């Protein structure tokens, strides 16, 4: 559900923060008041092509934001997770800006995203049906998913399970096809190629690479290289102490001081004390030097350094890395390479048996796929008849009584895809006696909008998570037809949030929320404003829509009648 629209400096809209509710929401206003500007701003927030012409005069940047609640929208949650977007409070905030230089920036929940990502996520949140386009309806590639969604909604788990079965059988078929290709390639292997594979396999078996081996070898290598430096330092320290005869020199110094003896004099107490401290310090130093030599000797014993071990490790690492480069993999993947080559060699040595097995599995997988795909095609054609009848039943009240609708099938058993044999497209015949054709070639803007409404009414029970926007779906109609459009929009809004730009009072009267768009001029500056109407203001707006600039008592009475009937 679209909860809020926020706009800054888009064409004539200086600042707008609009909170939207559930149900059926209409936007009305005189021609040129700025309804299209509001839709353009929404399009900017949804990832449409950005035009620097959207920036309001005097501003540096146009900004549009749309806040959606996705509490009951698993697809939106799935896409947000796919793009690592946090959905705090089950909410997605799409925001886009464009500057005078034409450069735009896109954000979802304040995280920078590409416009492609924004557009993809927006498609899970909202559909916009306008006079010149109907998102989804005009895209032939989406027709199959619409039909499948309708049938699944009517037939439940049985049809959904059938769709899953076709996808599973398709994946199994592709695996079998790949295995058959490998078997056929193996048959073409020459003796020289077999000899080469056997040679490579023998090399790898002799090398016997292990997963995680590189890391262990590298760690041991680093330790041994460090140990060499430690032993060198210990030897150097020992040499300095021993060669310098430090202990002997200290002993000589101690003996020299001991010959001084104790000076007997009342004035020599301080001197005797100082000499004694010097002797004690020398004694401690001799002990510390002895301890130091002991520790150095102990450290040397702790390092069991085999000079050949480092050389062996480096040779092993060199061999592993050379093999990895040869096969264009990392070292940890060498065991998989060994297994793969062994399998290929086995296929060559047992090619007839392997080929026969692969061909059998291929035939079984193809047969299983075709069986499931054919069943799916039959169920689709049954569902398409029901779907077409329901669509056609919606057309007469929408002043499309001469139009016929059908689902055209292109089913080809040689076509293998994860969706089955079928390609479909929705077709219409606009008048009695006219042939069927694609929607893009026949339908006018008004017809397309009303056809999309009929489609959404039929599909509404299956997808109520999307917000639906209809731009002047009532163009060129009035009276009972406009009333029928209003009733269908109101019914559609029971399961979905429906937003409609309308000039029809019959449609506007049935809304749960009424917004009026109007243009104002202050200090020679034109601005577009949007306001939420109270019930009395709605009655006055409906009267304006009925009568024009001069509102008559009769127009007010008619407006009251429309409101009371709604």
Sequence length of the chain is 566
Please, is 202 exposed, middle or buried when counting C-beta atoms within 10 Å of its C-beta (0-12, 13-18, 19+)?
exposed
Q: What is the pLDDT, as a whole number, of residue 382?
A: 94
Helix (H) / strand (E) element for 181: namely: helix 157-187
Highest mean pLDDT among 179-183, 262-266, 353-357, 538-542: 538-542
Check if the beta carbon of residue 148 is closer than 8 Å to that of residue 489: no
What tokens were used for 257?
């001081």
Q: What is the pLDDT, as a whole number, of residue 309?
A: 78
Q: When comparing pLDDT for 126 and 225, which is higher?
A: 126
pLDDT digits (tens, 9 = 90+) for 469-517: 888 777 777 788 888 888 888 888 888 889 998 889 999 999 999 999 9
* Residue 114 pLDDT exceeds 90: yes
List the strands of the sheet with 126-129, edge to edge: 126-129, 467-471, 497-501, 24-28, 513-522, 525-532
DSSP summary character for residue 475: T
Q: How far apart are CA 542 and CA 158, in angstroms?
A: 48
Q: What is the pLDDT, as a whole number, of residue 7?
A: 93
Average pLDDT over the chain reads 85
Confidence label for 411 from pLDDT (cuts 50, 70 and 90): very high
* Percent of residues, the chain, with pLDDT higher than 90: 35
Residue in 126, 110, 166 with CA at minimum distance from that of residue 42: 126
* Residue 191 pLDDT exceeds 90: no
pLDDT digits (tens, 9 = 90+) for 336-386: 999 988 888 887 777 778 788 889 999 999 999 999 999 999 999 999 999
List the strands of the sheet with 422-429, edge to edge: 404-411, 422-429, 437-438
- Average pLDDT over every residue of 138-166: 86
Residue in 71, 75, 18, 73 with CA at minimum distance from that of residue 41: 18
Check if the beta carbon of residue 354 is closer than 8 Å to that of residue 186: yes
* Residue 125 pLDDT exceeds 60: yes
- Average pLDDT over every residue of 450-465: 76
Torsion of CA 182, 185, 190, 196, to 10 degrees: -40
* Residue 112 pLDDT exceeds 60: yes
First-residue to last-residue Cα distance in the chain: 24
- Average pLDDT over every residue of 300-316: 76
**3-state secondary structure at position 330:** coil
Residue in 516, 457, 518 with CA at minimum distance from that of residue 26: 516
Q: How far is CA 436 from each of CA 407, 410, 432, 456, rounded to the nearest angstrom?
A: 10, 15, 10, 21
What tokens were used for 170?
């398709």
* 16 beta partners: 7
Confidence label for 222 from pLDDT (cuts 50, 70 and 90): confident
Confidence label for 104 from pLDDT (cuts 50, 70 and 90): very high
């Amino acid at each position: 559900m679209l909860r809020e629209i926020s706009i800054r400096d888009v064409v004539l809209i200086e600042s707008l923060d609009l909170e939207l509710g559930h149900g059926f929401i209409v936007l009305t206003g005189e021609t040129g008041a700025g309804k299209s500007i509001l839709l353009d701003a929404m399009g900017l927030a949804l990832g449409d092509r950005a035009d620097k012409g959207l920036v309001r005069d005097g501003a540096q940047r146009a900004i549009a934001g749309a806040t959606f609640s996705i509490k009951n929208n698993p697809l939106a949650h799935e896409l947000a997770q796919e793009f690592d977007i946090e959905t705090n409070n089950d909410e997605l905030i799409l925001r886009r800006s464009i500057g005078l230089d034409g450069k735009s920036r896109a954000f979802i929940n304040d995280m920078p995203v590409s416009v492609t990502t924004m557009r993809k996520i927006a498609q899970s949140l909202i559909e916009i049906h306008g006079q010149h386009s109907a998102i989804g309806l005009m895209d032939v590639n989406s027709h199959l998913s619409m039909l499948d969604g309708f049938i699944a909604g009517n037939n439940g788990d049985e049809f959904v399970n059938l769709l899953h079965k076709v996808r599973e059988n398709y994946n199994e078929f592709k695996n079998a096809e790949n295995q058959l290709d490998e078997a056929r390639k193996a048959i073409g292997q020459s003796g020289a190629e077999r000899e080469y594979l056997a040679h490579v396999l023998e090399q790898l078996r002799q090398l016997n690479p292990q997963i995680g081996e590189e890391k262990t070898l590298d760690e041991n290598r680093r330790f041994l290289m460090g140990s060499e430096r430690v032993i060198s330092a210990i030897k150097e320290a020992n040499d300095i102490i021993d060669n310098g005869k430090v202990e002997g020199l200290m002993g000589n110094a101690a003996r020299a001081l001991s010959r001084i003896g104790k000076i007997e004099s009342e004035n020599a107490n301080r001197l005797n004390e100082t000499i004694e401290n010097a002797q004690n310090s020398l004694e401690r130093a001799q002990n510390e030097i002895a301890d130091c030599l002991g520790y150095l000797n102990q450290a040397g014993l702790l390092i069991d350094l085999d000079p050949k071990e480092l050389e062996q490790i480096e040779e092993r690492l060199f061999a592993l890395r050379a093999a990895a480069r040869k096969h264009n993999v990392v070292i940890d993947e060498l065991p998989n390479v060994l297994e793969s080559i062994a399998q290929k060699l086995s296929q060559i040595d047992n090619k007839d048996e392997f080929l026969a097995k692969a061909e059998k599995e291929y035939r079984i997988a193809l047969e299983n796929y075709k069986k499931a795909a054919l069943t799916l095609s039959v169920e689709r054609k049954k569902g398409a008849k029901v779907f077409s009848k329901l669509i056609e039943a919606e057309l007469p009240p929408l002043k499309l009584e001469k139009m016929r609708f059908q689902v055209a099938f292109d089913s080809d058993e040689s076509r293998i895809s994860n969706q089955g044999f079928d390609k479909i497209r929705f077709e219409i015949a606009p008048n009695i006696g006219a042939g069927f054709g694609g929607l893009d070639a026949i339908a006018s803007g008004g017809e397309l909008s009303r056809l999309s409404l009929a489609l959404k009414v039929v599909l509404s029970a299956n997808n109520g998570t999307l917000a639906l926007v209809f731009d002047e779906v009532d163009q060129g109609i009035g009276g009972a037809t406009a009333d029928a459009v209003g009733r269908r929009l109101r019914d559609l809004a029971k399961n979905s949030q429906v937003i409609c730009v309308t000039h029809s009072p019959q449609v506007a009267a049935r809304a749960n929320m009424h917004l009026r768009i109007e243009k104002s001029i202050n200090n020679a500056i034109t601005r577009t404003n949007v306001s939420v109407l109270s019930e009395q203001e709605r009655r006055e707006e409906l009267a304006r829509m009925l009568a024009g600039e001069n509102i008559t008592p009769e127009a007010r009475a008619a407006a009251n009648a429309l409101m009371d009937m709604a």
